[in-house]
């Protein structure tokens, strides 16, 4: 294993990948037929990996350049998601799905 430090270009590439996965997570539409347990496991794994990457970038003082298209897309996706929320109200289908998962886990 090499003991050389990562180059600025390599760190910038990691920064871009983090931004792209955040945008993908915010904009992806899933089918109701998707396996909920598998989806949750993937989300947790991706979240943990991304948290490590963000901490690593922060510790190495890697930040986005002004006018970064990937981060502009992330900001737009976040703004869109925020505008679609109804404060304090979840869709009934989401509540029903959560109740079914809870019952399935606790009644086994």
What tens digit of pLDDT does each residue of 71-100 get?
788 788 888 888 877 666 777 888 888 888
| pLDDT tens, position by position, 27-80 | 666 666 667 788 788 888 888 888 888 888 888 887 777 777 777 887 888 888
Q: Helices 8-27 and 69-84, interaxial angle, to 10°?
A: 20
Does pLDDT of 108 surpass 60? no
In this prediction, residue 25 carries a pLDDT of: 75
pLDDT of residue 6: 81
Residue 100 CA, chain-centre distance (Å), reads 25
Name the burial class of residue 74, with classes exposed (0-12), middle (13-18) and buried (19+) by CB atoms within 10 angstroms of its CB.
buried
Rg for the chain (alpha carbons), in Å?
18
């Amino acid at each position: 294993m090499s003991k050389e430090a990562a180059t600025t270009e390599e760190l910038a590439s990691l920064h871009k990948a983090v931004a792209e996965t955040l945008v993908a997570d915010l904009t992806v539409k899933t089918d109701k037929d998707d396996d909920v347990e598998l989806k949750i496991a993937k989300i947790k794994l991706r979240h943990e990996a991304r948290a490590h990457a963000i901490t690593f970038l922060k510790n190495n003082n890697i930040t986005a350049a002004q006018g970064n298209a990937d981060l502009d897309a992330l900001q737009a996706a976040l703004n869109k998601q925020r505008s679609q929320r109804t404060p304090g109200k979840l869709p009934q289908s989401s509540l029903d799905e959560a109740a079914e998962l809870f019952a399935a886990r606790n009644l086994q």
